[in-house]
Amino acid sequence: MKALVTGAAGFVGSHTSEALLRLGHEVRGVDALTDYYDPMLKKANVQVLQDWARFDFRQADLLDADLAGLLDGVDVVFHLAAQPGVRSSWQNGFGVYAEANVMATQRLLEAARLSEVRRFVYASSSSVYGRAARYPTSEDAPTRPFSPYGVTKLAAEHLCTLYADNWGLPTVSLRYFTVYGPRQRPDMAMNRFIAAALEGHAIPVYGDGEQVRDFTFVQDVVAASLAAAEVADLAPGAVVNVAGGGSITVNGLVELLQTVVGRPVHTAEQPRQPGDVLQTGGTIDLAERLLGWRPQVAVPEGLAHQVAWQQSLLG
């Protein structure tokens, strides 16, 4: 297949591109290399991908890029480009989220409906559920985001279903729950915890640390996205949770980290953050049924991979 991966220089996008390349596919990657976190990390991700002659990288912003050109000859779109992160989506930060997550997605969908694309995989998020009343949360639970970021991810998901309903565009929205693994964004809790543990700093724990997080290893997430691109019978506009691998409290994660790093780690209590939810965790019955997918990597194994990667960055 020929794939367009948006956000190809990012954490999940670079792994998605790499997996496609390893399977022999052609990949066109697009990324604006935004400075939300150090663009050098993104450039390093792209460099790995450039080992393959079948990888074609375009540095461009989806808000003004020639999308018809980017979609030319493309069979499948993996739309991962976004402005991520909950905390900076409040106040004046919101405009960036509305543009990168909503406006850019609408532009891409509009171009995709005029193209030959046979599947459009959108990286949605568990943040669309907000403080879900039911745990683990299934796809039919009410969507009531608890952060401006979540509002933009849900708006883009609605755009995907409405392009499916109105134009038959074969979209599928995958609601990723917290993803971790090598190349994880430095603003994410797992990355900050590991960095603190490796550098001997105290780990900031927001609230009482009893928040439950459902972590999914990045290779499992990539496998779900690839399955969503390939399965034959998927109704346009499908919405599917991609979760599991391991539910663990923040305190439990700190304990596990001590074992992996092999030395005591200290914590510093911080006030609970606005927009942070107490529990995340999703059912995966639908992913199993529609995509034939189950996560394979448990947290202790995945954590060891991420620790090794962060250790390698420290030299």
Ligand X SMILES: NC(=O)c1ccc[n+]([C@@H]2O[C@H](COP(=O)([O-])OP(=O)(O)OC[C@H]3O[C@@H](n4cnc5c(N)ncnc54)[C@H](O)[C@@H]3O)[C@@H](O)[C@H]2O)c1
> What are the catalytic residues?
149
Q: How far is the CB of 286 from ligand X (least distance, A)?
A: 17
Omega before residue 136 within 30° of 0, cis: yes
- Letter string b/e over residues 275-290, b meaning 16 or more CB atoms within 10 A of that residue's CB: bebebbbbbbebbeeb
Q: Which amino acid is at 262?
A: G
Residue with Cβ nearer ligand X (61 or 264): 61
Part in contact with ligand X (CB under 6 A); list of ranges 78-86, 138-146, 267-275, 283-291: 78-86
25, 28, 42, 213: which one binds ligand X (CB under 6 A): 42
**The only residue of 5, 20, 32, 291 in contact with ligand X, by rule CB under 6 A:** 32
Residue 218 · residue 299 · CB < 8 Å: no
Give the interface segment with ligand X, choosing from 67-75, 177-185, 230-238, 291-299 (CB under 6 A): 177-185
Question: What is the side-by-side strand order in the sheet with 179-180?
Answer: 179-180, 212-217, 246-249
By beta-carbon proximity to ligand X, the closer residue of 81 and 257 is 81
Task: Pull the structure tokens for residue 214.
Answer: 């459902």
Question: Among 203, 199, 201, 202, which Cα is nearest to 189's?
Answer: 203
295: contact with ligand X by CB under 6 A: no
* Segment interacting with ligand X (CB under 6 A) among 18-26, 108-116, 171-179, 271-279: 171-179
Q: Would you count residue 159 as binding ligand X (CB under 6 A)? A: no
Among 33, 160, 146, which residue's Cα sits nearest to residue 86?
A: 146
Matching residue, tokens 């990045």 = 218
Buried b (16+ CB within 10 A) or exposed e, 241-262: bbbbbbbbebebbbebbeebbe
183-212 positions binding ligand X, by CB under 6 A: 185
CB 263 → ligand X: shortest distance, Å? 27
Stretch that binds ligand X, among 74-82, 130-138, 252-260, 261-269 (CB under 6 A): 74-82
Which of residues 10 and 232 has its CB atom nearest to ligand X in the complex? 10
Does residue 59 touch ligand X according to CB under 6 A? Answer: no
- Is residue 10 near ligand X by the rule CB under 6 A? yes
Minimum CB separation of residue 265 from ligand X in Å reads 22
Q: Is 17 in the site for ligand X (CB under 6 A)?
A: no
5 closest CA partner among 64, 82, 100: 82
CB of 241 to ligand X, least distance (A): 11
End-to-end CA distance of the chain: 37
Burial class (CB in 10 A: 0-12, 13-18, 19+), 76: buried
Residues 79-138 that bind ligand X (CB under 6 A): 80-84, 100, 104, 123, 125
Q: Are 55 and 109 in contact (CB under 8 A)?
A: no
Binding residues (CB under 6 A) for ligand X: these are 7, 9-13, 30-34, 36, 42, 61-63, 80-84, 100, 104, 123, 125, 153, 176, 178-179, 185
